[in-house]
Structure 1
Amino acid sequence: MSVGLKDVAARAGVSIKTVSNVVNNRLHVTPATRERVQQAIDDLGYRPNVTARHLRKGRTGILALAVPELGNPYFAELAGAVIDAAAEHDYTVLLDHTQGRRERELLVTRGFRARVIDGLILNPLELEPEDLAQRPEDAPLVLIGERRYDLPYDHVAIDNIAAARAAVRHLLDLGRRRIAFLGARDDRPSRPAYLRLLGWRAELAESGVPADDALIGTVEGWDRADGAAAMAALLDAGRMPDAVFAYNDLIAIGAMRVMAERGLRVPEDVAVVGFDDLTEGRYGAVTLTTVAPDKQAIAGLAVGSLVDRIAQADAPASGTAGPGGPRLLQPGFALVERESTRGAGAADS
């Protein structure tokens, strides 16, 4: 038979309310009482009925996470971090991928699962501000990813310009001067590729090194093949860099493959820095120096912000204070130095 609060209360010799306070980690329970209740919980194998708890609040206990591509290792790793963060708040996560297509992003934001989810974390690529401004669904929404929107939604994003500048500064400190940027795609200022290109330009300018537009490699997508094609195009045109800063790790890995095929050594001939700190980059023949966004912090901030907004939506009934206006939450990043810039045997630093 299932064990309930009443059974735990009887075992510990306290009220059901006290057991509830312990289970929900509320204050006003003495350490001795908390320990006695926890011992009763452990002895009886009591497990809270999280589903019932959400239903009593008129909630489903499900959050949705929509990202462009779950096949991309960065989004797969981020999704795992979001699932872990949501579990700490007793939420389950429903995953979807939009393939970076506007129609699918619109479908996600316009309530296609309105009766299933309590809130949505979205990484949009193609939605315009007016698309989100016209969103009819009132379920709380938190944005992640580096595309910026001046809209009344919390947004979790690292500082792309600062991160790109850190990568370029590292290459400059190593004495590199012909630093290519691989990953240009369009000129829309709100896009992360544009912001990382701005960081590339800004750091070169501050160091007095001319930014050579001939060393900007354009891409069709964000995968290894795109990096390989962009690097091959530079080399075929006779535009030989002594370093590469890539939009992401996958592009960097594709570029490094082409260099190996052309007899170029990394980092002796060309130093390489990626972006995202994918696990794959740690285990190549040459380990990859990369900008590492704090994925755990991104997930924790996004989930925490969404839970805050859900509580705010319940405020008229519960009296819970909300977190105020829309917030831009910026988790940190770190430059992880490995063999692609430091040479053979370089440990993570």
Structure 2
Amino acid sequence: MVTMSDVAKLSGVSKMTVSNVINGRSGVSDQVRRRVLEAIRQSGYRVNVSARTLRSGRTGVIGLAVPEIDRPYFGQLAAHVIDQARAHGFHVAIEQTGAAATGELEAITRSHTLHFDGLILSAVGVDPQDSRLTAGDYPIVMLGEQNFDAKFDHVAMPNEEGTKAATVHLIDRGCRRIAIVTGSALDGVNVVTRRYQGYLAALAERRLDPDPALLYAVNGMTLESGRDAAHRLVDAGHEVDGVVAVTDTVAQGVLRGLADRGVRVPGDVHLIGFDDIPESAYMVPSLSTVAPDHRWMAAKAVELVTARIQDPSRPAREYTAPFDLMARESTR
């Protein structure tokens, strides 16, 4: 059986260097890392995960459970989490929950079953008061909008603050009839309600009355739903000079829908989104948006889960990500 020592001899490095490469630790040059990986491939070396787990009590894997892996935001988040986890010596296993409570609870159970060292869960559907959702001794870090009452480490988006800033930005550009295109889940605590509250707070601060006719609810955060909302907005004949979209993906659909109806952005209507997905800077016009610090969020989530792996009894902590407002062509 090929051993780690055999790989070290074949690649001309120490056994510790081979271990660092296998575990994704920093401090190894790209040239040496490639040489070790080639030696592993040539020799057919396989890590004995069961033996390593028995010795250390850990697998070196953390889970990342997100609602949908085919949305740009979650793809971006996953890439950052993988980078940050690698710096801590962990690999990442990703799964999709469908934004449903059952999927999120199953992700927790599966992480236990597969002996992941911890889990980062983007929670959407699960009720924080669900009796099946217990912190216990298993390291879990929550992402998202729910209020977990300090039961779990939690990294939140700047939903209210960011959407308030986006709405104020439109007001400062001269907009007075500002529509919001957002999700239909306007009850409870979720991304929709939190961002809607930010929109209302901005209007109140600038002494503008909200008009219920300018609330356009969509059933999904998709391109198609955004386009459909824009069609309804224009066809209704309401006077509108600004639109706040709940996400950049929805904003892209809104832009397409306005163009379908001959409405120019920003000539006739100003438009702003939320998330700063990479495509936003390359749209025509480029999209103004709220830009949460995605790398900071990933780093904080990985920092928290690794700290809880080391000390499961430590007090839970909660953080809200910083953000910038990216003013681009769609509001100029």
TM-score bracket, shorter-length normalisation: 0.7 to 0.9
| Match of residue 326, structure 1, among 282, 305, 316 | 316
Deviation at 1:136, TM superposition (A): 8.0
Residue of structure 2 in register with 1:30 after alignment:
none
In the alignment, is the contact (CA less than 8 A) between 2:104 and 2:126 conserved in 1? yes
Residue of structure 2 in register with 1:120 after alignment:
119
Deviation at 1:189, TM superposition (A): 3.7
Over alpha carbons, which structure has the higher Rg? Answer: 1
Q: CA 1:292 to 1:54, structure 2 compared with 1: closer, same or farther past 3 Å?
A: farther
* Matched residue type, 1:2: V
DSSP-derived class of the 1:110 partner = helix
Deviation at 1:158, TM superposition (A): 2.4
* TM-score when normalising by structure 2: 0.84
Residue of structure 1 in register with 2:331 after alignment:
341
In the alignment, is the contact (CA less than 8 A) between 2:170 and 2:270 conserved in 1? yes
DSSP-derived class of the 2:115 partner = coil
Deviation at 1:122, TM superposition (A): 0.4
Give % identity: 37
For residues 166 and 173 of structure 2, the distance between their equivalents in structure 1, rounded to whole angstroms, comes to 11
DSSP-derived class of the 2:157 partner = coil
In the alignment, is the contact (CA less than 8 A) between 2:68 and 2:96 conserved in 1? yes
Deviation at 1:135, TM superposition (A): 3.6
Deviation at 1:268, TM superposition (A): 1.1
Residue of structure 2 in register with 1:186 after alignment:
185
Deviation at 1:71, TM superposition (A): 0.3
More off after superposition, 240-249 vs 108-117: 108-117
Residue of structure 2 in register with 1:219 after alignment:
218
In the alignment, is the contact (CA less than 8 A) between 1:184 and 1:216 conserved in 2? no
In the alignment, is the contact (CA less than 8 A) between 2:111 and 2:118 conserved in 1? no
Q: Is residue 245 of structure 2 the alignment partner of residue 255 of structure 1?
A: no
Deviation by residue 1:209-234 (Cα, 9 ceiling, x = unmatched): 11111101101010111111122222
Give the alignment of 1:123-142 within 5 angstroms: 123-131=122-130, 134-135=133-134, 138-142=137-141
In the alignment, is the contact (CA less than 8 A) between 1:62 and 1:118 conserved in 2? yes
Give the alignment of 1:29-40 within 5 angstroms: none
More off after superposition, 82-91 vs 49-58: 49-58
More off after superposition, 192-201 vs 235-244: 235-244
Q: CA 1:61 to 1:243, structure 2 compared with 1: closer, same or farther past 3 Å?
A: same
Q: CA RMSD in A?
A: 2.9
* Matched residue type, 1:303: V
* Matched residue type, 2:7: S
Residue of structure 1 in register with 2:263 after alignment:
264
Q: Is residue 99 of structure 2 the alignment partner of residue 100 of structure 1?
A: yes
For residues 165 and 7 of structure 2, the distance between their equivalents in structure 1, rounded to whole angstroms, comes to 56
* Matched residue type, 2:299: G
For residues 299 and 186 of structure 2, the distance between their equivalents in structure 1, rounded to whole angstroms, comes to 31
Residue of structure 2 in register with 1:78 after alignment:
77
With a CA cutoff of 8 Å and minimum separation of 6, indicate the structure with the bigger relative contact order. 2
Q: CA 1:142 to 1:93, structure 2 compared with 1: closer, same or farther past 3 Å?
A: same
Deviation at 1:113, TM superposition (A): 4.4
Q: CA 1:116 to 1:38, structure 2 compared with 1: closer, same or farther past 3 Å?
A: closer
Q: CA 1:132 to 1:124, structure 2 compared with 1: closer, same or farther past 3 Å?
A: farther
Q: CA 1:50 to 1:243, structure 2 compared with 1: closer, same or farther past 3 Å?
A: farther
Deviation at 1:151, TM superposition (A): 4.6
For residues 126 and 315 of structure 2, the distance between their equivalents in structure 1, rounded to whole angstroms, comes to 22
DSSP-derived class of the 2:272 partner = strand
* Matched residue type, 1:338: R
* Matched residue type, 1:78: L
* TM-score when normalising by structure 1: 0.80
For residues 321 and 111 of structure 2, the distance between their equivalents in structure 1, rounded to whole angstroms, comes to 30
In the alignment, is the contact (CA less than 8 A) between 1:158 and 1:293 conserved in 2? yes
For residues 141 and 160 of structure 2, the distance between their equivalents in structure 1, rounded to whole angstroms, comes to 22
In the alignment, is the contact (CA less than 8 A) between 2:231 and 2:261 conserved in 1? no
More off after superposition, 285-294 vs 126-135: 126-135
How many residue pairs match? The answer is 307
Residue of structure 1 in register with 2:24 after alignment:
none
For residues 91 and 76 of structure 2, the distance between their equivalents in structure 1, rounded to whole angstroms, comes to 17
In the alignment, is the contact (CA less than 8 A) between 1:228 and 1:254 conserved in 2? yes
In the alignment, is the contact (CA less than 8 A) between 2:150 and 2:318 conserved in 1? no
Deviation at 1:132, TM superposition (A): 6.1
Deviation at 1:138, TM superposition (A): 4.0
